[in-house]
Structure 1
Amino acid sequence: MSESSSVPTEREQLLNRLATLAYRRGDFTLASGRKSEHYVNCKPVSLSGSGLALISRAMLTHVEADARAVAGLTLGADPLVSGVAMAAADQSRELDALIVRKEAKGHGTGAWLEGPLPAPGTLITVLEDVVTTGGSSLKAVRQLRDAGYKVTRVVTIVDREEGGDAAMAADNLELISLYKLSEIAAFVPA
């Protein structure tokens, strides 16, 4: 709880939801192929209306002021980019959402990117639900850069603290996380 009140802050509310709905302890194989005793699946939070609202407002505060779009690799980032774009609109800020496909569309235009495409050279912030090694985020960044966009920042809900920050730094990217895995694992809901 915040020091000045018994009402939890939005950050505390989101931490509670992540700890109770998204975090599990056990024996898991991650998307990176690594084994872990910690598993984080943010979708039960990001796919609930009130959870997405908390995430979106928090992520929006870390989107560069001159960014004109947010983007992320499908599927984990789909609700995030839409939610952050909507939160921006609520603040009268122009910010579009883009979805980066895992592979080019197999029909029609063969597009990698979905959404209102900004002009080449536009700054885009990449959003991610969970970063482990950074592979998914870097795939999205590469697709965006290959399309002519500028990407300098990745904002994630959870940094698993397993090298993603170093991978981002090696690609001249700043990684900002709303929470570290250690913070979620240590949280005991009230």
Structure 2
Amino acid sequence: MSGSSVFTQSCREELLSLLAKDAYRFGDFTLSSGRKSQHYVNCKPVSLSGRGLCLLSLSILSEVELDSVAVAGLTLGADPLVSGVAMAAAQNNRSLNALIVRKEAKGHGTADWLEGPLPEKGSKITVLEDVVTTGGSSLKAVKQLREEGYKVERVVTIVDREEGGNDVMNQSGLELVSLFLLKDVAKKAKEIAP
């Protein structure tokens, strides 16, 4: 782990249970990548709950590089994550700001892609993601940040679906750090099913 030691094993188990209960579904689904799957993960019911965001923020913070000055992610899935992690960092006396990467440039005013307190060019930023399948959303955020002159080396995701995203990240010079693998969440869901 790279950062805060506040996140304990019991917190990790509680977070896994929340994801299994509130974020995971088994059935027939079409994913945003267009792929078909029997497993669906929507982390927003967890990341938009008070306890869920608290657990996620501490867990993710522990994986953010110590020399990162900000966390960033593509709107909408990463919005609560970057805000929660920045707040958890402040509560742990660590300076870390949050940036939101738009899906397209703002159509008015400054036409910016990024929202938030922009760090100096060349600063390191860690990208956050809720679920990685093919890695497309993460790479879009990374591309925008790199084009703005920032250094991005790591993507932290809540769940890696293990469908090629890690390989795509590696090919782009990125390390993918996953809090959980899809198989972990699916297994837990089976254990707690009524």
Instruction: Give the TM-score, by structure 1 length.
Output: 0.95
**CA distance in structure 2 between the partners assigned to 1:131 and 1:143 by the alignment:** 18
User: SS in structure 2 opposite 1:76?
Assistant: coil
**CA distance in structure 1 between the partners assigned to 2:130 and 2:141 by the alignment:** 13
Q: Residue in 2 aligned with 1:3?
A: none
Q: Residue in 2 aligned with 1:189?
A: 192
**CA distance in structure 2 between the partners assigned to 1:49 and 1:121 by the alignment:** 34
Q: Residue in 1 aligned with 2:17?
A: 16
Q: Residue in 2 aligned with 1:155?
A: 156
- Shift of residue 189, structure 1, vs aligned partner: 2.2
Q: Residue in 2 aligned with 1:109?
A: 110
**CA distance in structure 2 between the partners assigned to 1:97 and 1:189 by the alignment:** 34
Asked if 1:74 corresponds to 2:75, the answer is: yes
**CA distance in structure 2 between the partners assigned to 1:109 and 1:82 by the alignment:** 22
Kindly provide the amino acid, as one letter, of the partner of residue 130 in structure 2.
Answer: D
- Shift of residue 143, structure 1, vs aligned partner: 0.2
- Shift of residue 89, structure 1, vs aligned partner: 0.2
**CA distance in structure 1 between the partners assigned to 2:88 and 2:192 by the alignment:** 27
**CA distance in structure 1 between the partners assigned to 2:36 and 2:137 by the alignment:** 17
Q: Residue in 2 aligned with 1:175?
A: 176
- Shift of residue 152, structure 1, vs aligned partner: 0.1
Where structure 1 has 5 or more consecutive residues not aligned to the other structure, the ranges are 1-7
How many aligned positions are there? 183
**CA distance in structure 2 between the partners assigned to 1:13 and 1:181 by the alignment:** 16
Q: Residue in 2 aligned with 1:32?
A: 33
User: SS in structure 2 opposite 1:9?
Assistant: helix
**CA distance in structure 1 between the partners assigned to 2:175 and 2:192 by the alignment:** 30
1:140-187 CA distances to partner (integer Å, 9 max, x unpaired)?
A: 000000000000000000000000000000000000000000011011
User: SS in structure 2 opposite 1:68?
Assistant: strand
User: SS in structure 1 opposite 2:192?
Assistant: coil
Instruction: Give the TM-score, by structure 2 length.
Output: 0.93
**CA distance in structure 2 between the partners assigned to 1:120 and 1:32 by the alignment:** 32
